Every structure is written in structure tokens, then in C-alpha cells.
Amino acid sequence: MRSVMSCLGLVQMSRRWWGSRCACVSPGYGADAELGLNSHHTRVLQRHIIRLGADVAFSKVQEHLAALLRVKVSKESLRQECHWHGKQMAKWQPKDTLTPKEFSRAPGAVEFTTDAGKVNTLEEGWKDLKIGVFQKRLRADPATPEEWDSREIPAPTAQVAWAAIAPIKKFSKTWRGWGRRLGVKQTRDLHVLGDGAGWIWQSVEQVFTGCVQTLDVYHGCQHLAQAGDRLYGECTKESATFLDRGRKLLLKSGWLGICHLVGA
């Protein structure tokens, strides 16, 4: 008998074990792989677990499954399922040939962005999880600085993301390889988006020398807001005016606009 957890609850089944004296035939339950029984969870439930596990903590995954599906799964079982799929993805992704072909065929200009988040590892506690994303997007119509929060840009036509728990010197070495696989030949045609973190732009300069670099307006305005609060006090009319003027100068003239704002 074999017990498997499904979206409808626990399912018990019996099947035959097949063996052979021939060394070329591996013994086992022949239908398990076809039926998705290589896990304690059915394929559909595995998809739910992985989707939730990539978004929230295992304790929250457990709560969501219990509330939405009335399915009870231990946190340790959820952790093992997510880790197993993560290892399989790490093995598959470098060998995947379809994704690079589809990416190169997709219309639009190539963009790259990177960032980091914190993950709590079992072995060494909290560490940085570096994330890289290549994507393609059709160019939008030009917009004025006043339209910064109302304009609509086209959705990406293709996206490829990967991640690793690694220092930036090690993680940045994967960028160029991924770029070559996806058909990014000239760095001058690459548009890099990022926040104000120094490690991002230093690494971008080293790996994608000559690319177009764009600062995320939200992170830029965050620093402007902090400067306005220091100058005029938090939540004052003067600090709000400073932020509004600084945002317009940033969007219109970039770094030169900020220099003009500070000089004034």
C-alpha cells in the first residue's frame, strides 16, 4: 500500500512491484513516474506547495493549504518538497535549450535587473539571496516627467530569472554566461535597471561595460524624501514641496537635476 496526499486529502493505493534478473532493467514500481508518485504529494498539490513556498514561509504554506484545501501537511514535509524541486531546477536550468530559443525570438529590447533579499538558512543563519532577471520589452511611447506615476509600459514579452545564495563576486560571474545563452551579444544594446545599491552598479560596470543604466525612480525618490525631512522636518509642507520638485528634476535631468536641486 502507498499513501499519497492530494488536494482532496489522503489517498491510499496498491500497485505491483516489478523486478528482473536482467541487469538492464531497473526493478521498482514502473508506473510511479508516469503517475507522479515520486513524492508523498500528487503533482497538483506539489505545484501548490512550490508556488506558495516560493512566496511565504513554510508555516504560512501550511496554514494556506489547511484553510483553502483542508489538507494537513507538516512543515518539514513542505520544506523537503520545496528543496527537492529547487535542486531539480538547478540541474535542469543550465541544460534547458527551449527557453534561450524562445527568449531570442521574443520581440523587444533586452533589460537586465538584479537585487538581493535575505533568507534564513539552516546551516549559517541569515544570508543574501541574489536574484538576476533578463527580460525583453517593447519600447513604450515617450512620457513627460509629470506622467511618471500614470504612464503604462508594455508587459515583458519574455523573462528569465535565476537566483543563488552567494556573494556578489560569485553571482555576477553568472551574468555574462546567461547573457550569451539568451543571445545578448552587444552590451551597448542592454538596458540595466536597478536601485541605488553600490554593489549593483559596480558589478554592472565590470560585467556589462558600456550598457545603458537606469536608476529606479522609487529608490531615488526615497533618498530625496529623506533629505527633505532632514532639511524641513518630517511630514511638513516644505518637505513635500522639496520632494515634488526633486522628483521632477530627477526625471527630467537625472544627476544634473539633483545637483541643481542641492545647489539651490
pLDDT tens per residue, range 100-137: 999 999 999 999 999 999 888 877 889 999 999 999 99
- Domain definitions of the chain by residue range: 2-94, 97-215, 218-263
Residue 6 has pLDDT above 70, yes or no: yes
CA geometry: angle at 212 spanning 210 and 213, to 5°? 110
Q: Which residues contact 172 (CB under 8 A, 6 or more apart)?
A: 203, 206, 207
> Tens of pLDDT along 59-69?
999 999 999 99
Q: Are strands 9-13 and 2-6 parallel, antiparallel or unpaired?
A: antiparallel
> Tens of pLDDT along 183-239?
998 898 899 999 889 999 999 999 999 999 999 889 999 999 999 999 999 989 999
DSSP tag of 147: G
Q: What is the pTM of this model?
A: 0.77
Residue 161 has pLDDT above 80, yes or no: yes
The pLDDT confidence band at residue 21, using thresholds 50, 70 and 90, is low
- How would you class 17 by CB atoms within 10 Å of its CB: exposed for 0-12, middle for 13-18, buried for 19 or more? exposed
